[in-house]
Amino acid sequence: MKAAQITGFGAPDVLRVNDVDPPAPGAGEVLVSIEASSVNGLDTIVRAGGLRIMTGRRFPIGVGLDFAGVVAATGAGVHQYQVGDRVWGTVQPLKRHTVGGAAEYVVVPADRIGPAPAGVSSVEAASLVVAGTTALIALRDTLHLTSGERLLVRGAAGGVGTAAVQLAHAMGGHVTALSRGRHAEALRELGADEVFDYGATTADQIGPFDVILDTAGSQLNGYRRRLTREGRMATIALSASSMAATAASSVHGGRRIRTLSANPDTALLGALAGHVTSGGLRPVIDSVYPLADIASAHQAFERGGVVGKQVVAVSGK
């Protein structure tokens, strides 16, 4: 079978699509025939060598955190899925893999997948797995957004940002989006009440906000000062500056900045599917690439400046 793999740490050109032996599910596991996988920040960090303590230095390393496809086989003890079921899910994010979601097949524990929402293609479903669950965890579990609260989404045009704008709108929040000015119309269509151009707007010009969700990882202290007295802020960024600001916020006063990342299980994927089927969340895709051109998908992700996700179509479905 074909699988995209990291052959050495570096730029996207270290990615190769190799022939590997197909995996077989063990007890409690499911073999998924993958139809699509999206590009996420963790994928590019692993590829660049930013998580060597987790991945080690033995190559090749699998790539692709999330996926959507069809159950091809089940291991002993797995009764909740049948061959042919449409599913979406993730590989373990904090574990080294030789085969990830960007491959023709992957084996994962049964609690890493869930039934894919009806009415969306595998390419569309894959675009929502990590981005959607990250946004849902942030708004529902970390920030506890409630109806009527004012929310700022920084980096609103990205995968997590576009999902957060939609989910926050569905939750009744007043959504302010910070992005490139040319993305304003698209973000308003997704549910943003206000959109500001980050290149022409400073933190002290907007707000105050009850809740801030940051995906940019810069100027966190400046935006933290735009929180109300009981305001909450979270970041998904893994930059050195964001980590320093997060640590400092836990020491100096209230309005602490929290960090989070997606590690979805079946229950969370089910909750996300409910938002999709209810119409509260829809896929936002910038571009789709064949598996053979996954390096270009990574390049597009790192280049940024677009609305939505980059998706890798494995089977063309």
Q: Look up the CATH number of the domain holding residue 298.
A: 3.90.180.10
Query: What amino acid occupies position 223?
Result: Y
Query: From start to end of the chain, where are the E strands?
Result: 2-6, 15-19, 29-38, 61-62, 66-74, 86-90, 105-109, 113-115, 150-154, 174-179, 194-197, 209-214, 227-235, 257-259, 285-290, 309-313
User: 195 and 109, same structural domain?
Assistant: no
User: 293 and 232, same structural domain?
Assistant: no
User: 13 and 158, same structural domain?
Assistant: no
* Residue partners of 88: CB distance under 8 A and separation at least 6: 66, 67, 68, 69, 113, 114, 116, 125, 126, 128, 129, 269
Tokens matching residue 85: 């079921």
CB 81 within 8 A of CB 61: no
Which of these three, 215, 244, 259, is where a domain ends?
A: 259
User: 172 and 122, same structural domain?
Assistant: no
Which of these three, 259, 278, 302, is where a domain ends?
A: 259
Identify the band that residue 125 occupies on the pLDDT scale cut at 50, 70 and 90: very high
Query: What amino acid occupies position 21?
Result: D
Identify the band that residue 56 occupies on the pLDDT scale cut at 50, 70 and 90: confident
User: 186 and 291, same structural domain?
Assistant: no
C-alpha–C-alpha distance, residues 279 and 300, integer Å? 28
User: 233 and 187, same structural domain?
Assistant: yes
Q: What pLDDT does 257 receive?
A: 87
Say how many domains are in the chain.
2
Comparing 60 with 250, the larger pLDDT belongs to 60
Q: Which residues pair with 71 in a beta bridge?
A: 32
C-alpha–C-alpha distance, residues 139 and 268, integer Å? 13
List the one residue out of 254, 212, 255 whose CA is nearest residue 237: 212
CB 135 within 8 A of CB 160: yes
* Domain assignment of residue 19, given as a range: 2-127+264-313
Q: Which helix (H) or strand (E) holds 266?
A: helix 266-277
User: 291 and 234, same structural domain?
Assistant: no
pTM for this prediction: 0.93
Query: From start to end of 150-191, where are the E strands?
Result: 150-154, 174-179
User: By percentage, how much of the chain surpasses pLDDT 70?
Assistant: 94
C-alpha–C-alpha distance, residues 80 and 20, integer Å? 28
Residue 169's CATH number: 3.40.50.720
CB 32 within 8 A of CB 71: yes
C-alpha–C-alpha distance, residues 4 and 159, integer Å? 22
User: 65 and 6, same structural domain?
Assistant: yes
User: 35 and 95, same structural domain?
Assistant: yes
C-alpha–C-alpha distance, residues 223 and 12, integer Å? 32
Q: What pLDDT does 259 receive?
A: 83
User: 236 and 161, same structural domain?
Assistant: yes
Identify the band that residue 207 occupies on the pLDDT scale cut at 50, 70 and 90: very high
Q: Is the pLDDT of residue 240 over 70?
A: no
In the chain, what is the greatest distance between 2 CA atoms, to the nearest angstrom?
58
Mean of the per-residue pLDDT values of the chain? 93
Which of these three, 259, 285, 300, is where a domain ends?
A: 259
Q: pLDDT tens-digit profile of 156-170?
A: 999 999 999 999 999
User: 218 and 115, same structural domain?
Assistant: no
Q: pLDDT tens-digit profile of 243-256?
A: 555 555 554 556 78
Query: What amino acid occupies position 314?
Result: V
User: 249 and 147, same structural domain?
Assistant: yes
Long-range contact set of residues 247-253: C-beta below 8 Å, sequence gap at least 24? 248/221, 249/220, 249/221, 249/224
